[in-house]
Structure 1
Amino acid sequence: MSVKERDPLTGHQTTGHEWNGITELNTRVPRAIWWFIGITHLWALVMWILLPTWPLVTSYTKGILGLDQRELVAGEIEAGERYREHWVVRFEGESLDGIRQDETLMEVVSGAAPAIWGDNCAVCHGVSGAGGPGFPNLVDDAWLWGGSDEAVLESIRVGINSAHPETQFSQMLAFGETDILTREQIRTVVAYVQSLSGLADPPPQMREEGAMLFADNCASCHGEDATGVNDLGAPNLTDDAWIYGGDTETLFVTIHDGRMGWMPGWEGRLTQAERKMLAVYLLDVLPEEGG
């Protein structure tokens, strides 16, 4: 078939190729495509002239505008650092109450604290702060070491059973492993402890025996009324807040094997301003978000 031939239906020249009776047409590239190619090439040429473009032996062409993205980014980082230094000084000089009353600082807390929490605390206490088995719920009112501003800041600073030289220490004895209590006595104490929070209603004799065992072995840490001692990090056993669980099996394991929680001290990783920001976020923002 000759290239000069034209398709009788469209009038276009053919390429001379045919497959199963289908003839290939030699159609022109649409004019809009040529315009697009021309404009993009012209735009590239203009950018080559205006902006840093071509690499040289030891440098590169600077362009008429002299723009440098690295210098722009460095300038933005420097401006961000100056802004950060401004509010860091303000955080370090304010109490938590002062931070709460300062709308500007609270805006910084709302913007920055969730990232600090997510990077350092959420892995154990959860994104919402509600904790889980072995990790305390931090959005309720059950505080092992106290929920005051000072107590929370100190817990964040030095941790619990951590490597910090001023860490807070807390450990529960393994009453079964050390043969202080028999398995039957532990079961009796479990029933008594559950009765304090309404989880069980043991017979009067068992309750009385459990109260005696509790007074002799547990009250020194948890208090005579079992409401806990913040200075020792001993939890309140009369509420419904349980770190490891309040069921019979879990309580038996807790009393028999003992417990020793751990929290790192954040003084070496977080600045004073970041720790204050985190404390305000924990005490004021997270509970309002619903925990």
Structure 2
Amino acid sequence: MSDKHVDEISGVPTTGHEWDGIRELDNPMPRWWVWTFYTTIVWALLYAVAYPAWPLLTGSTEGLLGYSSRSEVRSDLAAADNAKSGYMTAIKEKSIDDIIADEDLRTVAVAAGGAAFKMNCVQCHGSGAEGSKGFPNLNDDDWLWGGSADQIQQTVAHGIRFTKDGETRDSIMPPFADVLDGDQISQVSTFVASLSAPVHNASLVEPGKTVFAENCAACHGDNAKGNKEMGAPDLTDAIWLYGSGEDAIAAQVRAPRVGVMPAWDARLGETAVKELAAFVHSLGGGEK
């Protein structure tokens, strides 16, 4: 005869444990729970036999099905490379204008160019291509050397003032400290500043306009809109690479600062250069 205590109210035996007069009923587990538990044990054993599961000294058991997640990943990557190879061949063979005109090719080129930009260009132009002092913002529509797709490709491929590349973009603004006196530099700086913002001394604008016409218009144009063939910036759009205002402009007139961009064609190859050009052109400021 069992000596287990039986709860008087429910008639269910207790486990024999007691805490401060409280006893635990020894109710059986629900049948559905018990069978679910047994099923998980069987499932685990079958899984361990069918798939790689048990670690060994130099590897693991292979399982009866011979499945390998590494092989699956390799297969997926191979399939992706195979699907991509056709696009890469087309990008290599077609011109940048043809690539941009083809929606599928443009999508692939822009995606690949964005990845290449993060690896090679963010150090100077920023992660968002917004640029910084001395490094152009690639999101706006202000282009020193032209913003069409083929012009961008030319710039990316051969760089700016990169002496190791014979086709590099090359022009340098001469220093005017020994050409103009102090008053003339103040005048022309005030005139240039007045083209896009109010100035401190408006009386210098007219004489500065004369100085500009005699010394600066040959490169920047009579209307100061710049010349993309020479890399001469537009001086009327309030976009400044080395700072705005009369003082910053005067400093640039006296002793111009010029940047150097490396040529990427030899480093990355023609296909990657096209992809970079497509990406930069897609940022919003690209010209048709």
Alpha-carbon offset, residue 111 of structure 1 = 4.2
- Give 5+ residue unaligned stretches, structure 1: none
1:174·1:259 contact (CA, 8 Å) conserved in 2? no
What residue is the counterpart of 1:62 in the other structure?
62
1:84 counterpart = 2:78: no
Q: Distance in 2 between matches of 1:263 and 1:130?
A: 16
Q: Distance in 2 between matches of 1:58 and 1:127?
A: 43
The residue aligned with 2:97 is: 97
Q: For structure 1, which segment, 163-172 or 21-30, has the greater mean C-alpha deviation from structure 2 after superposition?
A: 21-30
* Letter of the 1:13 counterpart: T
Gap change, CA 1:6 and 1:114, over 3 Å in 2 = farther
Tell whether 2:186 aligns with 1:191: no
User: Would you say the 8 A contact 2:157–2:265 is kept in 1?
Assistant: yes
Name the amino acid aligned to 1:87.
Y
Q: 1:16 to 1:50 in 2, by over 3 A?
A: closer
Q: Is the 8 A contact 2:189 2:246 kept in 1?
A: yes
The yes-or-no answer on 1:134 pairing with 2:134 is yes
Q: 1:133 to 1:58 in 2, by over 3 A?
A: closer
Contact 1:158–1:168, Cα closer than 8 Å, also in 2: yes
For 2:283, give the aligned amino acid: L
- 1:221 offset after TM fit, Å? 3.9
Alignment correspondent of 1:287: 284
The one-character-per-residue Cα deviations of 1:123-168 (angstroms, maximum 9, x if unpaired) are: 5445664544433233443211122333211111122244743333
1:170 Cα offset (Å): 4.6
**TM-aligned CA distance change 1:55 to 1:214, over 3 Å:** same
Residue-pair matches, total: 282
Aligned to 1:40: 40
Q: How does 1:8-19 map to 2 (within 5 A)?
A: 11=12, 13-19=14-20
Deviation >6 Å, runs of 4+: none
Alpha-carbon distance in structure 2 between the residues aligned to 1:219 and 1:254:
16
RMSD: 3.6
Partner secondary structure for residue 281 of structure 1 = helix
Unaligned runs of 5+ in 2: none
Structure 2: which amino acid aligns with 1:188? Answer: Q
Deviations 1:73-106 (A, max 9, x none): 2222222222332211111111122223323313
Secondary structure of the structure 1 residue equivalent to 2:19: strand
Alignment CA distance shift 1:43-1:277 (3 Å): same
Out of 240, 248, 251, the position equivalent to 1:250 is 248
Q: Secondary structure at the match of 2:160?
A: coil
Q: Cα 1:240–1:46, aligned 2, differ >3 Å: closer, same or farther?
A: same
TM-score by length of 1: 0.76
Native 8 Å contact 2:141 2:147 kept in 1: yes
Contact 1:149–1:279 at 8 Å: present in 2 too?
yes
Change (3 A) 1:5 1:256: farther
Question: Residue 7 of structure 1 contacts residue 14 of structure 1 at CA under 8 Å; is this kept in 2?
Answer: no
Shift of 1:60: 4.2
The separation in 1 between residues aligned to 2:164 and 2:225, in whole angstroms, is: 28
Q: 1:58 to 1:147 in 2, by over 3 A?
A: closer
Q: Is the alpha carbon distance of 1:41 and 1:169 closer, same or farther for their aligned partners in structure 2, counting shifts above 3 Å? A: farther
Q: Percent identity?
A: 36
Give the corresponding residue for 2:209. 211
**Residues 144, 230 of structure 1: 8 Å contact kept:** yes
Aligned to 2:261: 263
Q: CA offsets per residue over residues 182-236 of structure 1, 9 Å max, x none?
A: 55443322211123345449545x2343234334554454345433233432212
- 1:101-250 equivalences under 5 Å are 101-122=101-122, 124-125=124-125, 129-162=129-162, 164-166=164-166, 167-173=168-174, 175=176, 181=180, 184-197=183-196, 199-200=198-199, 203=202, 206-215=204-213, 217-250=215-248
Task: Using the TM superposition, give the Cα deviation of residue 270 of structure 1 relative to its aligned residue in structure 2, in angstroms.
Answer: 3.1
Does structure 2 retain, via aligned residues, the 8 Å contact 1:160–1:264? yes
Structure 1 residues 13, 136: closer, same or farther in 2, change over 3 A? same
